[in-house]
Structure 1
Amino acid sequence: MAQRTGRRPGNRDTSGEILAAARTIFSERGYDSASIRQIAAMAGVDAALVHHYFGTKEQLFRDVVDIPVEPAALIADIFGAGVEAVPERIVQSFLGICEGPATGPALFGLLRGAVSHQWQGLLLREYFTTQIIRRVLSRLDTVVDPAEIPLRASLVSSQLIGLTLARYIFHYEPLASVRSELVVKLVAPNIQRYILGELDLTEEDARQLVTVLTGLEDAGK
């Protein structure tokens, strides 16, 4: 039987089915390895219809994750005070997301869901790693080794997500109650090292990193 393409007949929720397919593909393959064609095939529609409803792959991914954050605006703010202030601005911006009236509840909902549902955790990881942190690091590719960007991005993401869980979800005291300015002061040096510091990778470390990244790429194909 030939696969159906184009708009589906009847009252089907086509956009909802595309979102459901995208959620599966993005969580299984990651943002980089996922494609509009794969998502369209799972949803049983033309790739053109996916573009019609959601535009680009990036926009579709942001709709799947559903956090009201504009990455481009956020990154512009992070770099607004120059490269040296980037680590501090990252923490400030992230705390601003956590404490925002719309962005905070959206992020916390995704984090709570990630505890029970692996796919939500994978989407959250992909969102912060590919849409925010890796873009920040890509603007610093003249300062850091581009081959280290995926590792540095995952380290920064782990720091920020761990901070969010401890401060806003599990309410670890006194971290949960101290001023945001103090949190920035204490956490920014860790972000500074992850972004700009020497990782002191040995040749064996570097080979292992390449092996891991190659395995991830192959798994996403």
Structure 2
Amino acid sequence: MSPRGRRPGGGDTRADIIEAARDEFAEGGYDTTSLRAVARRAGVDPSLVHHYFDGKPALFAAVIGAPADPSALIGQVISGPREDVGENLVRTFLTLWDSAEGQPRLMAILRSAMTQETARRMMREFLTREVFGRIAREFAGEASPDEIELRAGLAAGQMAGMALMRYVIEVPAVVQASQEDLVRCLGPTLQRYLVDG
């Protein structure tokens, strides 16, 4: 007789949760996917999802193969000095993207987003809500939701464009630029979009 109820976490539980989350994100997008729905699809108790992943952003990062949890990185940027948010954001992402582990994963994510509608939608929702949108909301003051979404989209465009030029298209001047050169050039623009408005 087989046991009833949800199966306990085992050796493959984390992988099962990631696979279930991949399907949920693909079907419903980032915004509508819930951790409970992922747990239900994986056949585990929702507490196990929370055990393995610190919220939906961390689970999404695992699904797309991000080398770090973007939510934790953004938390560090937000907690720093307000006047340095733009520069710290650029520096944080470049440090991750220039790493031996981060660069190939970033390129895979970018290529998927450029060629697959499902990946494009998930990335769009994730970036505008959990990465750039989170920063814009933190510093938006009286800005409307539409204004926040615009600011987040413009900031995402700056960073995604720079990533394409540096890692995929490989424009020589952008490839050869130091991290600090790019921080100096892009930081004020991101600061204006996300903080100073």
Q: When the two structures are superposed, what TM-score results if normalisation uses the length of structure 1?
A: 0.69
- Secondary structure (helix, strand or coil) at the match of 1:193 reads helix
In the alignment, structure 1 segments of 5+ residues that lack a partner are 199-221
**Do the aligned partners of 2:140 and 2:195 also contact (CA within 8 Å) in 1?**
no
CA distance 1:55–1:96, shift in 2 (3 Å): closer
Give the aligned partner of residue 97 of structure 2. Answer: 98
State which structure, 1 or 2, has the greater radius of gyration over its C-alpha atoms: 1
- Deviation of 1:165 (Å): 0.7
Question: How far apart in 1 are the matches of 2:61 and 2:17?
Answer: 13
**Deviation of 1:135 (Å):** 2.3
Q: Is the Cα–Cα contact under 8 Å of residues 135 and 194 in structure 2 kept in the other structure?
A: no
1:53-202 aligned within 5 A: 53-54=52-53, 56-70=55-69, 71-77=71-77, 79-80=79-80, 82-142=81-141, 145-147=143-145, 148-196=147-195, 198=197
Task: After TM superposition, give the deviation of residue 110 of structure 1 in Å.
Answer: 1.5
Farther off after superposition, 167-176 or 189-198: 189-198
2:77·2:85 contact (CA, 8 Å) conserved in 1?
no
Deviations 1:31-78 (A, max 9, x none): 332112322344455545544554643432232133232433443245
**Which deviates more, 33-42 or 46-55?**
46-55
Conserved? CA contact 2:24–2:37, under 8 Å: yes
Q: Percent identity?
A: 35
The Cα of 1:83 is off from its aligned counterpart by: 1.3
Q: 1:49 & 1:15 partners in 2: Cα distance?
A: 9
Quote the Cα distance in structure 2 between the aligned partners of 1:40 and 1:78. Answer: 30
Number of matched residues?
191
Specify the SS of the correspondent of 1:101: coil
- In angstroms, what is the RMSD of aligned CA positions? 3.1
- What are structure 2's unaligned runs of at least 5 residues? none
Are 2:128 and 2:153, in contact at CA under 8 Å, matched by a contact in 1? Answer: yes
* More displaced stretch, 84-93 vs 21-30: 21-30
| Contact kept in structure 1, 2:136 and 2:195, CA below 8 Å | no
